[in-house]
Structure formats: C-alpha cells, structure tokens
Amino acid sequence: MITVIGSLKGGSGKSTVTFNLAIWLALSGQRVLAIDLDPQATLTDVAYVRSEEGYKPRIKVIGRREWSAGVNYDDYDEVVIDVGTADMESLKKALLIADKIVVPVPPSQADVWSTQRFTRYATSVVSRLPNPPGIYAFINRVDMQTAANESYETAAALVSLPGIRFLMPRLSQRPVFLHSFSEGLAAMELDPRDPGVREFNALAAEVYPHLIR
Ligand SMILES: Nc1ncnc2c1ncn2[C@@H]1O[C@H](COP(=O)(O)OP(=O)(O)O)[C@@H](O)[C@H]1O
Ligand SMILES: [Mg+2]
C-alpha cells in the first residue's frame, strides 16, 4: 500500500508522522520504503542520523531523483511518502499513485482552511482514477494545556469537510516526538510507555487496519 502524508502547510507534522509510521511499519514486520519529496529533506536527514547511530530496523529513504528514476514497488509491503512542500508536479505524481492520503491538521482555523484547499486540490487530481484514494485527516499537535476548545472546533470542522474522512485518534503536542526525532528514533523506540506513543499507536492502527488483528 502507498500512503502519502501531505498538507500545504509546513509544521503540521508530516515528516514526524511519516518517520514514525515508517518505523512502526518496520517494527511490525513490513518491508518499508520511505520517499522524501520535500526539498527540505527532513526525512532524509533523520534517516541519516538513524543509520549513523546504527539503530535497527534500518529504514530505506529515497529522494525525488531516485524516485523519478523508477521504483519497483513489489519489493515493499508498505510505502510512505512525505510530500512536504514538493513542487506541484511531484505532488501530483505522488497523489496519483497513492492508496491513501493522510493529512495532519494542527488545531487552528487557518489549518482547517488550508486542509480544505489541499483536499480540493487532491480530489481534483485523483477524481478520474478508477479507484481514487481516500483522503484522511487527523488532528496533530494538540496543546494539552490550552487548546481543548480549538481541538474540538477543528474536529467538528474536519468532520463536515466534503471529500475528507476524519480519523478520531489525535496526537497531542508531546516532547517525546521532538526528542526521539532528533536522535533518529521513533517515539515508541525512545519511550514505549509515553502517552504520546499510545496516541500514535491508535492512529497507526486506524491508518493500517489490515495490519491489526
Ligand atoms: N505531535 C507532536 N508533538 C510534538 N511535536 C511535534 C508533533 N508533531 C510535530 N511536532 C514538531 O513540530 C515541528 C514540525 O513538524 P514536522 O514533522 O517537521 O512538520 P512538517 O513536515 O509538516 O513541516 C517539528 O519540530 C516536530 O518535532
Ligand atoms: Mg517536513
């Protein structure tokens, strides 16, 4: 299955979520390919740190050039693509091969608007496919001190956005995601008992129901 993690805004958590999903998938025994289409190359950087540290499982990350040269998807069970702020052509190419499009949405009105825009664009790209991918949104970076209300409002707005399916599990703003990432680790590897990891596992299970028995 090919999963595109996308949005139009930086800072929504695409690279963090893509990386953590890749490790989660690898830990559950899947052969994983991660594709970094963001010129900022965050995913490539974190994978480099991981391989320098020698952490297992190893994650294969390729960039746009290698992707354009051609990938044999049969070599992998799961492919995750961080489109980041990719050029429109790469974004479109990624959307056209996606089985699923996952959109992290921080709890704010600006992010709801931006998600609406992204959904409209993605829908226009994939609408003529025989089997268009579903577009799924979830709330990321919920501020645990202050933002309960914003988070509910964002949830309500996402539920009623046409063309998008709302994933209930949300991720709070948790230091474990920041700390683990800078070390080249997934959150679950740094501290499997962190509440953020519980949230992440619930999200991953919703994105990959076929891997949960
Ligand atoms: N759930 C979260 N909890 C804490 N920090 C997060 C979370 N999601 C993302 N971040 C942090 O937010 C910043 C932006 O995330 P990133 O994944 O780089 O976003 P994007 O790839 O969409 O630009 C990073 O510093 C990252 O560590
Ligand atoms: Mg990024």
Asked whether 171 lines ligand 1 (CB < 6 A), one says yes
DSSP state of 8: S
Give the C-alpha separation, 189 to 208, whole Å.
19
Cβ of 178 less than 6 Å from ligand 1: yes
pLDDT in tens, the chain (213 residues): 999 999 999 999 999 999 999 999 999 999 999 999 999 999 999 999 999 999 999 999 999 999 999 999 999 999 999 998 889 999 999 999 999 999 999 999 999 999 999 999 999 999 999 999 999 999 999 998 776 777 889 999 999 999 999 999 999 999 999 999 999 999 999 999 999 999 999 999 999 999 987
24 C-alpha vs ligand 1 centroid, how far in Å?
A: 17
- Token pair belonging to 186: 């997934």
The residue to mutate among 16, 44, 151, having the most atoms of ligand 1 within 8 angstroms of its beta carbon, is 16
Structural domains of the chain, ranges and CATH numbers in brackets: 2-198 (3.40.50.300)
Roughly what angle, to the nearest 10 degrees, separates helices 88-97 and 109-126?
A: 70
Q: Is 20 in the pocket of ligand 1 (CB under 6 A)?
A: no
The conformational region for residue 41 under phi > 0 = left, psi -120 to 50 = alpha, else beta, is left
As a whole number of angstroms, the distance between CA 2 and CA 8 comes to: 19
